[in-house]
Structure 1
């Protein structure tokens, strides 16, 4: 699933962007996250004009237009205003050419302005659009921030995911999403999860109903997004199944093109799942920092075997 972004959403999200003209056209769609700085186009070269991008004009572009005649500016600006063009954005609070304002109105394209530098503005908008336009994947589970580790708790319906998350919240950890987690790829190595807007800050407990975590525990008990570091899958205890006892059998869940570490935890009466998941998150972080208890155990076992072998000689 891929989201769409309108120019209005961009303006609302970026506090330093204002509308110079075309406020009634802010519903135009932005299809791509890339921006265009139309330097060659100002010289009349339109063979490879990326017309479906936001056209960002900085000090260089505006200074160049000042040296053009009004007729030249009119011709170029009309060529730049295409049906697919989402918006024009002027950096550094500079004054756009009147010919641009007129041509944009003719094509119903908004013209925006920002006091920020061109480079900073391009970076901020690209980051925003990449996040909003990224491909989305909906996962059934609960996402919790545990000691800075993003942990998705998955498992069959009714196994206790939300109840476990509630206990984790009581222990000081933070809820990101309950029941459904929207995942997207932030970059080549990171997957980020967030809640659907309708479920934000809410958690459902069977027999109790929907609980507003902010009202009960305060704003410190939630966060809006979190990168995913670990998937914990809860499954009913099967006495005939062999479970990993040393943590040496590494498993992973592939999300888009990123492999996220996954562990399976058997559920049965008497097991405190919140504490187990808390320890799993801490252990995963320790491994990422180079501290692996399994390797320590294996080294100790190897030393013990060598010692016994020497004593038997």
Structure 2
């Protein structure tokens, strides 16, 4: 899939420690914009009717061996035809010897040619995962992202409702800060959102009345984390006496972010409520639901409610998300 975002080939070379065989120009100026990769076996056999030339092309043992089996003239023609379509980069795995025809075609058509010592399957898996992170759809939300008991919890709410203050108390209770104020959220596959902080404000927090603090400097490395998968959203809002808040927890509301529904709880804020403890409880309660236990179900069953009237232990939507 071609993304509206892109990354430089220089970043890919650095991330995977790739050996440069040929570059037509500065690696910083060569862009990769597809999250998919391709092994061009069919193209080397002459089939180009269905071919996404925007993808990174991976040459493993099978592709390199096939090039060597071809007649030199035919091999040159196929490599030239492949490179003429201008793929962003070609990568040879297993530190295999580069066929002269492939190198000549890459130079003639100005297509980058790199090499890695990794085996083909492992390298492709790692590359696809990294491309999904780098090129996936993304948004920035105003809020705080914490890791609480190992789960990513996104805390949202209007300015001044107490998000950062709650985050500081959660840090003091042993949990970890991922992002404060601006949370960059990326969709890396159909079921996963990962949040992080913009690099220029990472680990900084703003506390009204105190100012800006650095959580890493103040609380140490154990109090911060670079990125975390978002598993729950906590929406903080000022207590509204005219609003009916959930008293049983039978419903499992969700909030859609980048097309992925995330379990969401609304926590009303008023003096005397310990928000950090409430958020800890919400996190553990969601984990129990993941394991198939519902406190409202157990309570109503113990009170003698007929089985057919009991709420479900866990909704199919919540169960499928946690998978």
Question: TM-score by structure 2 length?
Answer: 0.87
Aligned to 1:262: 264
Secondary structure of the corresponding residue to residue 31 of structure 1: strand
Shift of 1:153: 0.7
Aligned to 2:316: none
Larger deviation: 76-85 or 131-140? 76-85
CA contact (8 A) 2:86 2:109 kept: no
Distance 1:156 1:79 in 2: 56
Distance 1:285 1:61 in 2: 46
Secondary structure of the corresponding residue to residue 24 of structure 1: coil
Secondary structure of the corresponding residue to residue 264 of structure 1: strand
The structure 2 residue matched to 1:137, chosen from 125, 139, 159, is: 139
Distance 2:265 2:51 in 1: 49
The structure 2 residue matched to 1:155, chosen from 154, 157, 162, is: 157
CA contact (8 A) 1:138 1:180 kept: yes
Secondary structure of the corresponding residue to residue 229 of structure 1: strand
Aligned to 1:21: 22
Aligned to 1:308: none
The structure 2 residue matched to 1:114, chosen from 97, 116, 129, is: 116
Secondary structure of the corresponding residue to residue 105 of structure 2: helix
CA contact (8 A) 2:38 2:55 kept: yes
CA contact (8 A) 2:175 2:223 kept: yes
The structure 2 residue matched to 1:205, chosen from 207, 214, 218, is: 207
The C-alpha deviation readout for 1:234-275, integer Å capped at 9, x for no partner, is 111122222222222332101233221111111111111111
Secondary structure of the corresponding residue to residue 13 of structure 1: helix
Distance 1:48 1:187 in 2: 24
Shift of 1:115: 1.0
CA contact (8 A) 1:88 1:109 kept: yes
Matches within 5 A, 1:21-40: 21-22=22-23, 24-26=25-27, 27-40=29-42
CA contact (8 A) 2:90 2:112 kept: yes
Secondary structure of the corresponding residue to residue 137 of structure 1: strand
**Structure 1 residues 113 and 247: CA distance shift in structure 2, 3 A:** same
Distance 1:283 1:50 in 2: 46
Shift of 1:25: 4.0
Secondary structure of the corresponding residue to residue 25 of structure 2: helix
Question: TM-score by structure 1 length?
Answer: 0.89
**Structure 1 residues 157 and 29: CA distance shift in structure 2, 3 A:** same
CA contact (8 A) 1:25 1:108 kept: no
- Gap regions ≥5 residues in structure 2: 306-323
Aligned to 1:87: 89
Aligned to 1:241: 243
Secondary structure of the corresponding residue to residue 186 of structure 1: strand
Shift of 1:186: 2.9
Shift of 1:280: 1.1
The structure 1 residue matched to 2:286, chosen from 284, 289, 293, is: 284
CA contact (8 A) 2:203 2:224 kept: yes
Of the two, which has the highest radius of gyration?
1
CA contact (8 A) 1:51 1:82 kept: no
Larger deviation: 259-268 or 244-253? 244-253
**Structure 1 residues 23 and 146: CA distance shift in structure 2, 3 A:** farther
Aligned to 1:229: 231
CA contact (8 A) 2:24 2:110 kept: no
Matches within 5 A, 1:144-183: 144-183=146-185
Distance 1:39 1:291 in 2: 49
- Gap regions ≥5 residues in structure 1: 304-313
Aligned to 1:73: 75
Distance 1:168 1:61 in 2: 53
**Total equivalences in the alignment:** 302
Aligned to 1:190: 192
CA-atom RMSD in angstroms: 2.0
